[in-house]
Structure 1
Amino acid sequence: MLGRPDRRTGPEDVLARLQATISNKVAIEQAKGFLAESGHISIEEAGTALRVYARQHGVRMTDAARAVVHRALRAEDVLGPVPMPEAKPTGELL
């Protein structure tokens, strides 16, 4: 094997890496959904904000995502100040 001769590549190792990858992806997608809803922005914008936050703070995107999902990191900290949605008129007062 080239590069890493001591690294195991048995079926159990492949499965463990695959499970970790899926778990990481789930955390990122959950965080993006939460950020999108909290910030009234698109999923794509939420993903960009999460990626930028992670880079600026020197953390893995997955770690930032898990912190958002577990509410250890506030949406405002990732997105900046979150504006309140505009109130929609419900009708005239009589």
Structure 2
Amino acid sequence: MAVEIVYRSSRDPERLFMDKAEADRHDKMLELAERLGEVLLKAVPSLTEVQAEEAGIYMAKHRDLFAKAFKSSPDVLAALHEEEPA
């Protein structure tokens, strides 16, 4: 009988990872998504909590592109238009 070590995300307990670093990255992404959702709700009160959460997760998953766009290259966001819908 083999023994496997799995890691559970503290923010997403149903999700299991084989690598601790991957679980940590997922937790950090979800933490960023939560903060982004809070900011979006405050900035756009007409958003529902679900919409703010979905937008926050989307932005957190693509944080590198958004960081480049905010820094100096807004054109990098065009890559998101070419992405297949989830």
TM bracket (short chain)? 0.3 to 0.5
Higher-strand-fraction structure: 2
Compute the TM-score of the two structures, normalised by the length of structure 1: 0.40
Structure of larger gyration radius:
1
Higher relative contact order at CA 8 Å, sep ≥6: structure 1 or structure 2? 1
